[in-house]
Amino acid sequence: MSDLQRSFAKAKLASFPLEPPLPSAALLEEDEYAREEGDEIQPLPESEQDEGSSSASSTSSASSTGTIRPNSKHLFARPIGSGSGKKALDPIPWTDYFAQEYYLENVRPDETVIYHVYVIPPLAKGPLFVLHHGAGSSGLSFALFAAELHKALPNAGVLSFEARGHGETIVKTPDGHIKGAPHDLSLSLLSSDLVDAVKLLQARLDWLQLPEIILVGHSLGGPIVTDVALKGTLGSSVLGYAVLDVVEGSAIDALQKMNSYLATRPKSFSSLASGIEWHTRSRTLRNITAARVSVPSLLCRNPSASASPRDSEPWVWRTDLSATEFYWGNWFTGLSKKFLETKGGKLLILAGTDRLDKELMIGQMQGKYQLQVFPDAGHFIHEDQPAKTAMVVVDFYRRNDRSALVLPPKVGEFLKRKP
């Protein structure tokens, strides 16, 4: 290059503005999300059913039980905030993980319950995974797990249910007033609610019959799905059920310390981001992406904060766990026996083998159920390890899938084939 060319190049480069380096905070945030398991979620294939059923959904939304449908083109995309200008503690919307949400109205003589559910409709002959959260949690605790399920089984459907007194499910008196706490949270009523929600969804989506069902329950949801399977109220459609990190012995032992735990956790938060931060710092949740999705649904505006706009901590717990103490024994007593005696495939996923009680240890040695242990996860296994949990549940479904069975011909048919 000649001296004239060099001088021209220097003059040209000097005219361009300097580009500031990427802030170190942004680099740290990018690196943090690259390590998050929840951020491994890739876009899932669109379903023709979603496109074709949009008109039906808009028609049904005119009723008292409305439906909200997000843009299916952005379903299951990489969670918001990763590599963007979003803050690390910003909430992530449910529309990144579920196709629809429904409000299903169930009118009874003494009350009207409007169940709130998050749904991914099954395609063709795909199975339906019915998910029930634990006490104090919500249907969004299964968000990342549901996306991983759908990624592994694109035809599978998901119904993530919210129990009364949790999430956006509400209970009304016969005169139309919304019931507040304490709610009736007896095991029989909670299992009845789950069954009714499944049947109401069947009617809403015009299913001629229920698809094959795998029930999945975390913590309190474990006794509920076990009770539903034991009673057989969903008929032969139930292939099996999975219980996540709850067994009778350790659950009853833990209940003795529950009030002490509730006394130590914050009673309110200054913002949703503050609530998300507490869950991750306290190691209640070990996956920040899962916390950003589920924690906002656990909190609500303090009713008294509206009268005092300057309240520094306007966000309080949506579910008062201390008010449910009356039902704690009812939920877990006899769980191990029911779990082992109920017909159908059985899966138990734990965060540690120390949680097994005597009955379950004997049952496991006798091969009565499948046991999987995730020692690196906390109590919220499906949020801490959504991909691993989903893979175990998918394998469990495949082992119990009746449509995959190839039966030998009957003796009479075999004899007819003989020359």
Q: Which of 116, 132, 150, 379 is catalytic?
A: 379
Do 328 and 313 meet the contact criterion of CB atoms below 8 Å apart? no
Amino acid at 142: F
Is 219 noted as a catalytic residue in this protein?
A: yes
CA end-to-end distance (rounded Å), the chain: 92
Using an 8 Å Cβ cutoff, are 389 and 217 in contact? no
> 3-class DSSP state for residue 69?
coil
Closest by alpha carbon to 73, among 36, 46, 54? 46
The answer to whether 44 and 69 are in contact (CB under 8 A) is: no
Which of 41, 134, 141, 45 is closest to 96 using CA atoms? Answer: 41
Give the H/E segment covering residue 105: strand 100-107
Among candidates 355, 146, 221, 381, which has minimal Cα distance to 285? 381
Bridging pattern class, strands 315-317 and 299-301: antiparallel
Candidate list 39, 96, 193, 245, residue with the active-site label: 245
Which of 57, 141, 219, 336 is the catalytic position? Answer: 219
Catalytically active residues, by annotation: 219, 245, 379
